[in-house]
């Protein structure tokens, strides 16, 4: 009988202090849901007892077990995007099932799983007309902390909040190692039954497994340096509890046996060379004749900056025509023996709108960063 079977499973769960195997969780669920051919009276009486047992199991086993039970499987999320190859990858032995939940701000974030390797997807990623085949994929579930459903893509409220998610590398500044800086990447998002699911794609970071890996999420379209704290002495990255929004950081448990220090070193050399090349070939036609000295600051982007112990300045911005972050060397833009200096870091164009980053040092040696736009 179903109630007896559930009781047996409950006793088995109570005997162990360890998180149960997925098979046990699924068996409890199976025992509760089967036998749909019994009479109505028996269903009412027996289902109540079974439900109590199941609820007790959920309470005892905790959030991780509940996450594995409640959410879509990562392979099922991939199936929703008709990515059959990735679905199979999430069912393979190389996939890492994580199922860890962290609450921040108004949201509950669950990192469900990750998988990395070559040719894992039915939808390859192109960068500069070149297929990037060695990639990592992670599945995240986002819920509202108060239990209300997340809006679907069709809802007008869907665009009211956005999330940025990316792996990060211990010991390397997060402004350098998030998804946009690693040959690009992206995410696919959908909402099902009030849960927002996201598949995040980026370069395979398993080569850095010996350093330690994180997976970070913050509210906003882009990575926010205000959402996380980087310890320059230890290389550790933590979520900033004082951030005006939601920010969480998970450990990404990729086995160190997949680390490849030589490959990782070459990877960064290639990335730096590509960045320098992009700067050299960038067209300057749009900026010819622009008087940046009279450019007007965008008020919402103005913020005080600090010089790090390594003499770097980090400025991030987010406004209607673009967003991002830059890291520059203090000495490249300011002189210690001069005050009231102004420097234009770089010029950008988006949506046919031209703007630039301006850094200003005042008489008190306080540095301010801002986006400026030329007078039309």
pLDDT tens digits, 33-87: 333 333 333 333 333 344 444 444 444 444 444 444 579 999 999 999 899 999 9
Residue length, the chain?
Answer: 376
Summarize the confidence of residues 11-17 as an average pLDDT: 44
Summarize the confidence of residues 323-343 as an average pLDDT: 82
pTM over 0.75: no
- Looking at residue 324, its pLDDT comes to 75
Strand pairing class (213-219; 237-239): unpaired
- Looking at residue 57, its pLDDT comes to 43
Residue 18 is inside which H or E element, if any?
none
Strand pairing class (186-192; 213-219): unpaired
Distance CA 277, CA 270 (A): 10
Tens of pLDDT, residues 130-146: 777 889 999 999 999 99
Summarize the confidence of residues 257-264 as an average pLDDT: 93
Structure tokens at 142: 């986002």
Structure tokens at 260: 């490849």
Summarize the confidence of residues 276-284 as an average pLDDT: 47
What phi-psi label fits residue 202: left (phi over 0), alpha (psi between -120 and 50 degrees) or beta?
beta
Residue pair 135/201 in contact (Cβ under 8 Å)? The answer is yes
Residue pair 269/333 in contact (Cβ under 8 Å)? The answer is no
- Looking at residue 18, its pLDDT comes to 44
pLDDT above 80 (res 373): yes
Highest mean pLDDT among 17-31, 48-62, 202-216: 202-216
Q: Which domains does the chain have, with CATH numbers?
A: 2-67 (no CATH), 71-262 (2.60.40), 286-373 (no CATH)
Residue 23 or 355, more confident: 355
Structure tokens at 319: 């406004």
DSSP sequence for 183-223: T--EEEEEEETTEEEEEEEEE-GGGGTTT-EEEEEEESSS-
Structure tokens at 5: 């079977």
Summarize the confidence of residues 241-255 as an average pLDDT: 94
Average pLDDT, whole number, for the chain?
78
Summarize the confidence of residues 304-322 as an average pLDDT: 82
């Amino acid at each position: 009988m179903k109630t007896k079977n559930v009781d047996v499973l409950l006793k088995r769960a109570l005997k162990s202090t360890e998180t149960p195997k997925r098979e046990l969780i699924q068996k409890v669920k199976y025992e509760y849901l089967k036998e749909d051919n019994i009479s109505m009276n028996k269903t009412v009486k027996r289902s109540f007892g079974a439900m109590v047992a199941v609820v007790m199991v959920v309470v005892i086993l905790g959030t991780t077990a509940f996450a594995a039970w409640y959410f879509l499987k990562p392979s099922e999320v991939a199936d929703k995007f008709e990515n059959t190859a990735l679905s199979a990858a999430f069912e393979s032995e190389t996939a890492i099932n994580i199922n860890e939940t962290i609450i921040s701000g108004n949201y509950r974030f669950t990192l469900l799983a990750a998988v990395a390797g070559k040719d894992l997807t039915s939808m390859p990623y192109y960068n500069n007309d070149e297929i990037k085949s060695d990639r990592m994929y992670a599945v995240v579930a986002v819920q509202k902390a108060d239990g209300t459903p997340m809006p679907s893509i069709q809802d007008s409220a869907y665009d009211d909040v956005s999330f940025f998610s990316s792996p990060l590398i211990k010991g390397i500044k997060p402004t350098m190692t998030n998804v946009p800086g690693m040959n690009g990447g992206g995410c696919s998002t959908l909402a099902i039954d009030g849960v927002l699911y996201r598949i995040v794609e980026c370069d395979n970071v398993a080569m850095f497994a010996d350093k330690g890996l994180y997976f970070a999420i913050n509210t906003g379209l882009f990575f926010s340096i205000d959402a996380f704290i980087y310890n320059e002495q230890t290389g550790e990255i933590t979520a900033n509890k004082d951030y005006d929004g939601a920010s969480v950081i998970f450990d990404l448990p990729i086995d160190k046996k997949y680390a490849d220090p030589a490959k990782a070193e070459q990877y960064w050399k290639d990335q730096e060379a590509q960045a320098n090349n992009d700067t050299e070939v960038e067209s300057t036609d749009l900026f010819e004749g622009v008087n940046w000295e009279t450019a007007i600051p965008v008020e919402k982007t103005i913020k005080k900056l600090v010089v790090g112990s390594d003499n770097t300045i980090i400025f991030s911005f987010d406004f209607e025509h673009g967003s991002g972050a830059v890291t520059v060397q203090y000495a490249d833009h300011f002189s210690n023996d001069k005050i009231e200096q102004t420097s234009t870091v770089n010029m950008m164009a988006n949506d046919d709108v031209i703007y630039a980053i301006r850094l200003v040092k005042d008489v008190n040696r306080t540095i301010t960063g801002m986006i400026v736009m030329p007078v039309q």
